[in-house]
Structure 1
């Protein structure tokens, strides 16, 4: 059995070994509740206007029970369960968005970078009113995923409502294979490297270390800007190993179920590929789950300066449990905590320097959307607890990036002023 940390429904995130689930004795009150359920089901079977198979009634009851728990627990039919197995490899067909149901509205949490949804201009906070001509009112999350996903090359038409607009727009999007490449790098100035992680899949750490090694073969790394903005998460082991690449020891993260015995620690280890250069890490409301694990670890160990905006605040662990008939359930079973014991569930990671993103004039209309965080999700779990310097070398591509991104410009200036941080001793 494997367990998953989850941020949305179109991309599988965070995997770890699941703790065994213990059964509990059923008391008299439980039998009374089951008796009431049986009575209601009998009434529906005998008196509802249409004939509904008992298997369908039970399946729908399971769906309702799980979806009322929190935004991330859900029932998985056979197709959904197969999709999860595909998603763990990082390869699947679709448009590449994370979605949630908020007050009955199908809402975009975040588009995945370089996917059809991202290129079509979908943004965090967009409301999807229709999918291929069918209204999303009263739709379930599972049904929405089914309608949006499809064969590569086929087109899905979404009717989108942007905040501040009274007129919905129709956005046709050609489905594609969601790319598995999650690491991008760009030299900002000589010796200063920008590392962008778009999500955490099974190859993220290896790809990141390969790119760092390739750059170090050419010149010394004087500073790093690690960009986790709009990164919806990924595999837990990859989040741990990415953070581990910048830490030589100490705790990266730990997860805690409702029983104290269910705690599991994930420590950093000293490695030959550890990176000791000064760092600035960028986060924003689209940084969730695995991104928050990395950001929280780097912040608690004072390994990197965090800059940007408060992160999403998704700090719960979902366990995917297979059932005997090929279906399964995805159940919230624990919370994760930063090394200093902070639960960021519905709180998020607050950066050391809170600097809002300021879009350029040409991007202002496109980026005038409200931000969405875990605390805004229905039934969410409560938390228990400028210019280049003289002599610098900036490529045209890097110059364009810096020109349209005030947070990145400040990150570069700060990382050049940070003292050398040596984690390897």
Structure 2
């Protein structure tokens, strides 16, 4: 036996026991004893842990190192797979419910910077003057550099009445700006609606959570109950990051009577499923225009793709984000969770929009911008820009297009998204200045005029 093997044999054996004990404590399945390559890799891994634990300049926590190694392993698969520590797992579950305590901002990680997409109208952040595009550089004095998104969310959420300090960098300001905000209860309203004109409704869905379909049905009932019969609907899915798959299917089913809504195909048979529409007791037969943009992702792309392939709606706007993969979250022991990708999804015509997106039937930019200004589709981060993103794959069993007979048919300069109005109460005057909404309304009114002319 070589010298180094004798020297490290006992420590490695002890370390293996520690590693497998920890892996077991968070619920990972046992590895096959016959997988020699796996064990060779684990042997190298244990050697590295042992050397670092004994020789690194500062003391290290072996459990913490192992957790980070697993996070790195899962994160290398694709941008949407990750190990969720108990706090992150809890935050993920909160995101699909009705309300939480916080300051009221929608945030994202953009080029490694914690960036505000929009303050939610009426919340502490909105009242304090937080703006879209602000970069949060500190939370309670702690730098957000290298902070994961869920960690930042966790730090800013909390009980109503407690304060949190944030430091932001704002373009055009020479120095960072400090804000002390008192947390409040932030309702998560995924559906809002109003009448653009008599007979023409507008519904905005900001995300897909547990009560989205019920709220959509209630909104339709309210719009259809007006004095003027419904002649057309604008369904706004812009900047909708997605959410629950079953809610996307159910929302699509509200407007479809039969045919496929979406198919998911994974490596395992249990991850391959077809979701089909069912006849509705209350039919909504009026024309629909669906609005999308580069911020429309995942579940919102399922809805747009289903309605487009069945010729049930005209899709207007700019190409969507292109997240055509399906994730599941498995509960592990000790409060941990594992979020990982199990399948790609396919629209009714067999399209995989992974890293490609839903292309609108009519391309209309959000703002009328000068020719020398970068186009929206080139400005916005897309799935294809993310590290380790999955590529689209054809689905041979779904290659035939849908047959209608068979399946029933930013700033002022334009460099910054204008999303603030999408997270607060609807404002009719604001919508009347929205280029895409007004174009959608023109299309619906034109359809009504043609229908009356033919009639």
Superposition TM-score, scaled by structure 1 size: 0.80
Post-superposition offset of 1:282:
0.6
Counterpart selection for 2:213 from 205, 212, 219: 205
Post-superposition offset of 1:206:
1.2
Counterpart selection for 1:409 from 396, 414, 438: 438
Judged with a 3 Å threshold, the aligned counterparts in structure 2 of structure 1 residues 160 and 288 are, in CA distance, closer, same or farther, namely farther
Which moves more between the two structures, 211-220 or 129-138? 129-138
Counterpart selection for 2:79 from 71, 75, 85: 71
Q: Which protein has the larger Cα radius of gyration, Structure 1 or Structure 2?
A: 2
Alignment match, 2:200: 192
CA distance in 2, matches of 1:288, 1:42: 43
Counterpart selection for 1:239 from 218, 237, 248: 248
Alignment match, 1:32: 40
CA distance in 1, matches of 2:278, 2:341: 28
CA distance in 2, matches of 1:181, 1:143: 23
CA distance in 2, matches of 1:30, 1:70: 21
Alignment match, 1:251: 260
CA distance in 1, matches of 2:175, 2:204: 32
SS at match of 2:220: helix
Deviation sequence 1:32-70 (CA, Å, 0-9, x none): 100000000101111112222322222222222222222
SS at match of 1:240: helix
Higher helix share: 2
Native 8 Å contact 2:294 2:318 kept in 1? yes
Aligned length: 380
SS at match of 2:187: coil
SS at match of 2:393: coil
Q: Does residue 1:47 correspond to 2:76, yes or no?
A: no
Native 8 Å contact 1:131 1:156 kept in 2? yes
Q: Does residue 1:106 correspond to 2:113, yes or no?
A: yes
Native 8 Å contact 1:194 1:224 kept in 2? yes
Pick 1 or 2: higher relative contact order, CA cutoff 8 A, min separation 6: 1
Post-superposition offset of 1:112:
7.5
Alignment of structure 1 residues 152-301 onto 2, 5 Å: 152-153=160-161, 154-160=163-169, 162=171, 167=174, 169-170=176-177, 172=179, 174-218=182-226, 219-259=228-268, 262-301=271-310
CA distance in 1, matches of 2:36, 2:60: 30
Counterpart selection for 2:98 from 86, 90, 111: 90
Alignment match, 1:7: none
Query: Any gaps of 5 or more consecutive residues in structure 2?
Result: 1-27, 395-425
CA distance in 1, matches of 2:441, 2:72: 48
Judged with a 3 Å threshold, the aligned counterparts in structure 2 of structure 1 residues 171 and 247 are, in CA distance, closer, same or farther, namely farther
Native 8 Å contact 1:240 1:252 kept in 2? yes
Alignment of structure 1 residues 316-355 onto 2, 5 Å: 316-355=325-364
SS at match of 2:202: strand
Post-superposition offset of 1:127:
4.6
Alignment match, 1:372: 381
Native 8 Å contact 1:110 1:232 kept in 2? no
Deviation sequence 1:323-346 (CA, Å, 0-9, x none): 122212111221222111112222
CA distance in 2, matches of 1:147, 1:137: 14
Query: Any gaps of 5 or more consecutive residues in structure 1?
Result: 1-20, 386-396
CA distance in 1, matches of 2:323, 2:178: 29
Native 8 Å contact 1:317 1:336 kept in 2? yes
Superposition TM-score, scaled by structure 2 size: 0.75
Which moves more between the two structures, 135-144 or 31-40? 135-144
SS at match of 1:92: strand
Give the superposed CA RMSD. Answer: 3.1
CA distance in 2, matches of 1:98, 1:180: 14
CA distance in 2, matches of 1:278, 1:245: 13
Native 8 Å contact 1:284 1:310 kept in 2? yes
Which moves more between the two structures, 196-205 or 90-99? 90-99
Deviation sequence 1:207-246 (CA, Å, 0-9, x none): 2212211232233111101111111222221111111111
Post-superposition offset of 1:144:
2.9
